[in-house]
Structure 1
Amino acid sequence: MAEMIAALDADCRSRGQAPLPDLPASRPLDTLAVGYLTLGSRAGTTLLARRATEAGCPLPRAFELPPAGRAWRDFRARLDRVDPTSHRAQRIVQDARAGFDLHRAAAALAWTMTRDDAHDDFLRQSEG
């Protein structure tokens, strides 16, 4: 996880983007929900990296991290051991949804910041 955060921070810095402020979660998320979000996103990143490479696009550092293949398989095995009718399973689902909500909020904030920066750049250029 630390490696992914460092790569994402480096990607932001290389594009002149400040890291987003931390968005608060209402409570700590279940570790299996966090694993689902993190390792699942790595699987998606692998697919996106392949498509970007085929299109000749440069890859952000976060896309160059090693694939999560074995970690994803091990994680799924741990998840499969949770009784799907248990309170823990319900919590994992709720927390994964809460994690997706945090992601959407961060994406909206990033979009707003990027759009505002582009607008400010346009105004500076038109003044000169």
Structure 2
Amino acid sequence: MPPKTDEETTYCPICGSHPVASHIHSGDRQGMRYLHCALCESEWHMVRAKCSCCGDAGQLDYLSFDTPEAAIRAEACNACGGYLKVISAERDPDIETVADDLASLVLDDVAVAGGYGRTGFNPFALPG
């Protein structure tokens, strides 16, 4: 395991990949955000309310189909133009980060149509 540092990283500290999504936990890690790697299934902590790509905290929008409190939202940053999905186990305890990222590809279309670029990586979404 890599040495523990106080510096937050936007890349997986184990394999170096981009996160597939942010995962908001329930239970004993209630409300904490972890970036989730689809390649090695690692998670690493990043504080909420800042862009998981550039770190900006002032220019975030949350896109969803249902309500602002939806279990799956896209966190879009107006500073860097990137977005990453936020998958919330607080709001849906049966949610699964990688699978629900794939199940919500229409949300990706909405974010891209809004001028944002995906900063996450899901290897299961690659063309065959």
The TM-score bracket by the shorter chain reads under 0.3
Larger strand proportion of the pair: 2
Q: Under a length normalisation based on structure 1, what TM-score does the superposition of the two structures give?
A: 0.25
Pick the structure with greater CA Rg: 1
Q: Which has the higher contact order (CA 8 A, sep 6+)?
A: 1
Q: Under a length normalisation based on structure 2, what TM-score does the superposition of the two structures give?
A: 0.25
Larger helix proportion of the pair: 1
